[in-house]
Amino acid sequence: MDRPVFVFFLTLSSFSAASAPDCQDLVKPFMPEDPKQVFGKWVYVLGAGDPKQYHNALESLKSSWIDLCPTSDSLTLTLRWGDYCFERCIFGEVNATISGIATTFHKNLSDHKGHILQTCPDCLLWTDTFRNGDVTGRYILLFTRTGKIDAKDVDIFKKQAVCLNFSEDFHSYDGETELCRDEKETSE
């Protein structure tokens, strides 16, 4: 078994063992039969960070979208984003490498490793662990195709976040702040 995948399963099982009995079902990795299920545009709706300073950093995020695009290499995808924070739009693009159920990429000065977990239909639940030198942190981020979410799905997300030992203090998209305009969509 690939070492990073083994470490992820070991970490996941320790989260599950320390949590409520239903946590094992709530934090199952999601590996779609058809990768097209995860490709395309997603709008941020809820999130949490750990430790506290990373959670507080989410407060500056007023709106956000990501776009997952296939490449000619089946083990690589392009991750693009548009974040509205600090009164301006910040755009970025990186290639991410897929290995088993983990996705890795380098953004700014940090190395990221993420996983998609099972969640509501038309939702994408991303857990991200990152390292920048000696500093580590993690996020759990929920995206939907529309930027809207049902209350029952919010409750499930909150249970999932608690199962992964995130604070119950969640940040959410207000649903009103305009998304940054995607230049690639307007040029096509």
Going by pLDDT thresholds of 50, 70 and 90, the confidence category of residue 186 is low
Out of 5-9, 31-35, 156-160, the most confident range is 156-160
Which comes out higher in pLDDT, residue 94 or 11?
Answer: 94
Residues 93 and 113: beta-carbon distance below 8 Å: no
What pLDDT is attached to residue 71? 93
Q: How many residues does the chain have?
A: 188
Mean pLDDT of all residues in 102-110:
88
DSSP state, residue 29: B
What pLDDT is attached to residue 82? 96
6 pLDDT higher than 90: no
- CATH class, domain 3-174, is mainly beta
DSSP state, residue 146: S
Q: Which of 127, 66, 83 is nearest to 102 (CA)?
A: 127
Residues 119 and 157: beta-carbon distance below 8 Å: yes
β-bridge mates for residue 98, sequence order: 103
pLDDT tens-digit profile of 62-99? 999 999 999 999 889 999 999 999 999 999 999 999 88
pLDDT tens-digit profile of 16-38? 444 454 899 999 999 888 878 89
Residues 114 and 4: beta-carbon distance below 8 Å: no
What's this model's pTM, rounded to 2 decimal places?
A: 0.84
Indicate the domain borders of the chain: 3-174
pLDDT tens-digit profile of 118-147? 999 899 999 999 998 898 999 999 999 999
